[in-house]
Structure 1
């Protein structure tokens, strides 16, 4: 009986959430570009080079319907087919520049729709909401991905370029950051590579695939800066971010730093929630209009480790 009540509770939440998102979808999509087509376009962007069959099976779309969508996208010059290097019989799907433009417009509309939805929430309530969503995603994530081995290791040859690429693509797709942000990240990484005394950068790998990174850079003898904390979207919600944070904070204690700070932006709610769990607090804010179409707030967060050292 208890299990039946739990199942009904899940179904009730599903009905509520589907109705909630449906209201957003009505404002974003139109008969000329319905939701299913938007989902296919997003998957083509996310799974660059995936075949039509792979995308169809992931989204649960009828074979005939998928075929018509692909044909329409090709006629509208939104996608191109590219022959697989592994199997000459297979063709992956890629967005054209026009397709990328359409995808970016849909992302912007979706972002505005969600922002409008959560705008009445105070920051603590919004933190609770995003944390709950992260937990749901973590619990219901693909079991194979969850069981894949996760490795945290120091960076090696080629890693820093990939981390800059990951920042550039993820922030552009999710938050419409410009290429200036990737330049900012790459510049900092090259400076770190030239001199990282008192610091370290770690790479998280899932089953041998790079999932994200985190770094500690020395600011002075007592102070360190936490930098380049990022996770690819497909690996978020699996607890990897916490492992990276644990690694970085343990390093700070080993190096006997008494203070740690970081810079972030106010729109990264999940990361901000995680920082607060590690004792970081916002100490400074300043507007930034260099990276995004609309102004964001850069935030400095600080954590004091002096008390822990005193008690050690």
Structure 2
């Protein structure tokens, strides 16, 4: 790394320069009522005809609540329309109305004018050199950014054993959990596989490799337990944990569960943060001396689910 320090500093210098140049253009083009983030969404809706809100949100890296409010604004302004997918009735597809297309084309025109001003002083030869350099930058960096293929699927043969192995190795190596903890996981998985009715175990794969899991097990007529939520450390940071959580919670709503609970331990700060983010509340604590040499605090977190009908309006926007 130190051998490349000069090149790295040059890249950072260029990045600051280019961000400043484009920032000035953006300030001139993307003014109210369509600032940059909204213009990007309109552009994606133009390019991806029939995309869902989730697809747009994931591609642009926008907050769920922010894009929900934005799409509602577009709908109120008659810039977008929504229609049910013919292949999957649960998918709500978005598109630009005629008015929305007109707004998009005006934004494109403004952007082109802004860039034209930036390069007006360049000769034709210099302009070709500039675009060639940009194409080189794009091709070199894209070659290093092959997107990970992430899928979430129901468990299959061998998956339960691997999930038990992942629990044993991850908790053993990272937190010095004993074999008693692995036995606890294996026993629970075996009981679930013997009677999985009312529940499901999902596997997350990245480029065909198992990266983690989550499960819902029936605990009562209207109550479910979230179990075996784990991520291989190699694949953390890809947003898979959020996808697994949303998959599990959506399943609970579809099954008519009104209440979901889980047990965790106080040392798992990242997991506890995610539970809190999705509305789980800490309601019970107890001491555990079975799994580690030091005493642990087990925690029960509970989530009350709204009926699925009460969320239909919000899902129309988000999905």
TM-score scaled by structure 2?
0.52
Instruction: Look up the match of 1:234.
Output: 234
Instruction: Look up the match of 2:167.
Output: 167
- Contact between 2:254 and 2:308, CA under 8 Å: does it hold in 1? no
Deviations 1:125-171 (A, max 9, x none): xxxxxxxxxxxxxxxxxx96872201100000110000000000000
- Contact between 2:150 and 2:204, CA under 8 Å: does it hold in 1? yes
Instruction: Look up the match of 2:251.
Output: 251
Point out where structure 1 has 5 or more consecutive residues left out of the alignment: 8-142
Instruction: Give me the whole-angstrom Cα distance separating, in 2, the residues matched to 1:205 and 1:144.
Output: 21
- Contact between 2:204 and 2:210, CA under 8 Å: does it hold in 1? yes
Greater relative CO (CA pairs within 8 A, separation 6+): 2
Instruction: Give me the whole-angstrom Cα distance separating, in 1, the residues matched to 2:311 and 2:148.
Output: 38
Instruction: Look up the match of 2:199.
Output: 199
- Give matches, 1:1-312, under 5 Å: 147-306=147-306, 310=310, 312=312
Instruction: Give me the whole-angstrom Cα distance separating, in 2, the residues matched to 1:157 and 1:150.
Output: 19
Give the number of aligned pairs. Answer: 176
- Contact between 1:258 and 1:309, CA under 8 Å: does it hold in 2? no
Instruction: Give me the whole-angstrom Cα distance separating, in 1, the residues matched to 2:207 and 2:15.
Output: 33
- Contact between 2:214 and 2:248, CA under 8 Å: does it hold in 1? yes
**Residues 309, 283 of structure 1: CA spacing in aligned structure 2 closer, same or farther, 3 A cutoff?**
farther
Report how far residue 306 of structure 1 moved: 3.4
Point out where structure 2 has 5 or more consecutive residues left out of the alignment: 1-11, 17-142, 313-319
Cα RMSD after superposing both structures: 2.2
- Contact between 1:146 and 1:238, CA under 8 Å: does it hold in 2? no
Instruction: Give me the whole-angstrom Cα distance separating, in 1, the residues matched to 2:292 and 2:15.
Output: 43
- Contact between 1:152 and 1:205, CA under 8 Å: does it hold in 2? yes
TM-score scaled by structure 1?
0.53
- Contact between 1:201 and 1:215, CA under 8 Å: does it hold in 2? yes
**Residues 302, 269 of structure 1: CA spacing in aligned structure 2 closer, same or farther, 3 A cutoff?**
same
Instruction: Look up the match of 2:118.
Output: none
Instruction: Give me the whole-angstrom Cα distance separating, in 2, the residues matched to 1:145 and 1:267.
Output: 34
**Residues 146, 256 of structure 1: CA spacing in aligned structure 2 closer, same or farther, 3 A cutoff?**
farther
Instruction: Look up the match of 2:88.
Output: none
Report how far residue 309 of structure 1 moved: 5.2
Instruction: Give me the whole-angstrom Cα distance separating, in 2, the residues matched to 1:203 and 1:264.
Output: 20
SS across alignment from 1:214 = strand
- Contact between 1:256 and 1:309, CA under 8 Å: does it hold in 2? no
Deviations 1:40-97 (A, max 9, x none): xxxxxxxxxxxxxxxxxxxxxxxxxxxxxxxxxxxxxxxxxxxxxxxxxxxxxxxxxx
Instruction: Give me the whole-angstrom Cα distance separating, in 2, the residues matched to 1:251 and 1:267.
Output: 28
Instruction: Give me the whole-angstrom Cα distance separating, in 2, the residues matched to 1:206 and 1:162.
Output: 15
SS across alignment from 1:306 = coil
SS across alignment from 2:173 = helix
